[in-house]
Structure 1
Amino acid sequence: MRRLSSTAPSLLAGLLLAALALPPAAIAQNADARRGATAVRGTVPYATRDDAMRFADDVATRRNLDRDWVRATIGAAQLLPNVPRLMLPPAKGSPKNWNAYRARIVDPIRINAGVRFWRDNAALLARAEAEYGVPPEIIVGIIGVETLYGRIMGNFRVIDALATLSFDFPQGHPRAAEREAFFRGELESFLSIESRTAQDPLVPLGSYAGAMGMPQFMPSSIAKYAVDFDGDGRIDLVNNTADVIGSVANYFKAFGWQRGMASIFPVRLDPERLKMQILMAPDIKPTFSADSFVAAGATLRGEALSHPGLLALIELQNGPDAPSYVAGTQNFYVITRYNWSSYYAMSVLELGNEVKAIVSP
């Protein structure tokens, strides 16, 4: 499974989509775990936990929030017993399979829903591209992969999910301390956001990792990147598609999306000149000029040869078959800032392009 970036808005999508690239046995095991997590909310209130109440007091002081309100909100959170084990890395098994992954994500249901979403929101998508430089197919691809255009946004109370992962993150995780700190930061951001609204902080629903709305933003991403795209004076990522579209576009621009730049180029590997260790060393981070990329045995053609930016060799495993490769640009890397996975980024691109081919043939 990919390493999860603290800036990634969606944690649930990363975990579920990474699982889709796993062998069937691992997928079944994760599905059983998710069913267990959904079946029942825990019964242990965090009001009885000294560590949770100390954290509440610290947050109230740092954020200048009402201490009793913060303590009451965290205290009302419930432990979700099966969620911590969903955060553990999957057991090592068979290679990932891009073809199987793609088939589950870029399917007729998502494509048809994406076509409707694009047509219903064409003006908003065009305005987002004009203002932020992010084309409609990228925004449509993201929202489709994340939540099927709002159909699957999670049914866990966000306060429960964030409290569970803040105070009961599995210590068997190789990066437990870092992940626990991440979720405590997200819980703090959630409390800060909710303190400025009139709604009950126990009401918002999201993923079992605390991601919310159509774009599945984590609370810190809502605070940093969400925008009131329709100017109605509030930001709503659950019901307001204008705010969703503008916020996704703003997120990409903030992470360095380059207007008019391709995300990937075709690539062919020359076995006689191939220096695979050199090409794969930076992973998905663009590092090579077009010339140095070719010098290491990656053959490009057409406009890719004159690409002014840096490139990365992206490997997509296909189970028992030979891997697929593409050359990823800065924009491909930006998509992985939403979810640190080349499989995720490719699924976003391919879903968006399939929809675009129907809407704008």
Structure 2
Amino acid sequence: MSVLRILRATLCSALLLSPLWPAMAATRAPVVPGPPPGYEARADVATFIKDLVQRHPELDEEVVATTLSEARYQAQVAKFIMPAASPAAKNWKVYRSRFLDTLRVREGVNFWRDNEAWLRQAEERWGVPARVIVAIIGVETIYGRQTGGFRAVDALATLAFDFPRGRSDRSGFFRDELEALFALASRDRINPLSLKGSYAGALGMPQFMPSTWLKFAIDFDGDGRTDLQRSTPDVIGSVANYLAGHGWVKGMATHYDVLPPTTDADREALLVPDILPSFTAAELAQRGALLSPAGQQHAGKLALVELRNGVEAPSFVAGTDNFWVITRYNWSAYYAMAVIDLSESLAALKTVADNR
């Protein structure tokens, strides 16, 4: 053995026998993180629980506390709720292409044909066209394929008690939704820890927030429970009930073609209310907007809706009250137009499929 090897072996032996070795080894040993803490030991959570059970005497305080002790902070939830660091310019054509893809269109036609009887019943009861119901479910989750993988109690607790800094604080909204989660779990006999959804706490095939589930979800198939995870009839009926509850008008168009005013002042004046119908057809005309013949005959209020196309010229439609109702599902004109365009594509393709 060379002299160098002998010196190295002697040094290693000395270190192993030294009383300093355990401390040195501990310093260098990898740190294995334990499980993230629950929410049971915090004063703000304890206050939330007490207020919750006072408002909902059907809930057991110990059960709620135990459930929240199982909740875990989710860093990904906090990340996803933040706005993009460099948001892209709004582009209707790009947005539309995301939701009128081959998979959604194909599966939408299949979903419609498989559930035609339920869709017909929903349309008769609430006046909401089958094509709109099918399109919303397609846009939201591709007919149950993408319902989200976060435990709802984790996502909502994270946003209720640890809402990230750097954007407008919405922790109050998410505390209300966490409360609604416990209320619906109790009412519908569901283990709240079993519910999974989006990073924002939206649940099931239609992506209802818990408060929306409580208010609008229904047992449409009559099996004694409301199931938005697996019961397609319940999902169909609940979406129709939601739209009707927000004012859907049977037989009314969602929008009309329109050319905007040529002057900046008139165009900006009509865009101020955004997507809220605020002008009669005559008032739009007075400002220089040119409506389609059908739009000119519309009896209710209309909104001039702008859809930007990046660096290209924007698109415009005149939205009706039913356009506004679709935006109650997601406060976005782009979302509403994606639903509408998908619904029209599905209706046309289903007609072709039925006539084969």
Query: What is the TM-score with the length of structure 2 in the denominator?
Result: 0.86
Counterparts of residues 65-84 of structure 1 (less than 5 Å): 65-84=59-78
- What is the RMSD computed on CA atoms of the aligned residues? 1.6
Choose which of 297, 321, 324 in structure 2 pairs with 1:333. Answer: 324
Is 1:224 matched with 2:210? no
Partner of 1:26: none
Q: Which amino acid aligns with 2:53?
A: A
Contact 1:289 1:309 in 2 (8 A): yes
Match of 2:89 among 82, 91, 95: 95
Spell out structure 1 runs of 4+ moving beyond 4 A.
none
Partner residue, 2:155 = 161
**Cα-to-partner distance string for 1:319-353 (whole Å, 9 max, x where unaligned):** 11110111100000000000000111111111111
Letter matched to residue 302 of structure 1: P
Q: TM-score, normalised by structure 1?
A: 0.85
The alpha-carbon deviation at position 301 of structure 1 amounts to 2.0
Q: Please say which structure displays the higher CA radius of gyration.
A: 2
Which amino acid is the alignment partner of residue 107 of structure 1? D
Secondary structure class of the residue paired with 2:336: helix
Which whole-Å CA distance do the structure 2 matches of 1:341 and 1:148 have between them? 19
Name which structure has the greater RCO, CA cutoff 8 Å, separation 6+. Answer: 1
Q: Is the 8 A contact 1:137 1:352 kept in 2?
A: yes
Equivalent pairs: percent with the same residue? 49
Aligned to 2:75, the other structure's residue is in SS state coil
Equivalent of 1:257 in 233, 248, 254: 248
Cα shift readout 1:45-85 (whole Å, capped 9, x = no counterpart): 11122211221122112211211011111121100023123
Unpaired segments of 5 or more residues in structure 1?
Answer: 1-40
Aligned residue pairs total: 318
Deviation at 1:122, TM superposition (A): 0.8
What corresponds to 1:51 in structure 2?
A: 44
Structure 2 match to 1:284: 275
Which amino acid is the alignment partner of residue 117 of structure 2?
A
Residue 63 and residue 273 in structure 1: after superposition, are their counterparts in 2 closer, same or farther (change >3 A)? closer
Change in 2 beyond 3 A, CA 1:115/1:42: farther
Shift of 1:227: 0.8
Residue 193 of structure 1, CA deviation: 1.3
Paired residues of 2:277 and 2:303 also in contact (CA < 8 A)? yes
By how many angstroms is 1:200 displaced?
Answer: 2.5
- Distance in 1, matches of 2:265 and 2:184, equals 51
Q: Quote the Cα distance in structure 2 between the aligned partners of 1:152 and 1:93.
A: 24
Measured after TM superposition, the shift of residue 154 of structure 1 is: 0.7
Question: What pairs up with 1:260-339 in 2 under 5 angstroms?
Answer: 260-271=251-262, 275-339=266-330
1:114 corresponds to: 108
- Preserved contact between residue 273 and residue 296 of structure 1 (Cα < 8 Å): no
For 1:275 and 1:286, how far apart are their aligned partners in 2? 16
Distance 1:93 1:137 in 2: 32
Q: Distance in 1 between matches of 2:93 and 2:211?
A: 33
- What's 2:180 paired with? 189
* C-alpha distance 268-274 of structure 1, shift in aligned 2 (>3 A): farther
Q: CA deviation at 1:197?
A: 4.2
Query: Is 1:63 aligned to residue 89 of structure 2?
Result: no
Alpha-carbon distance, 1:171 to partner: 3.0
Q: 1:150 aligns with which of 111, 130, 144?
A: 144
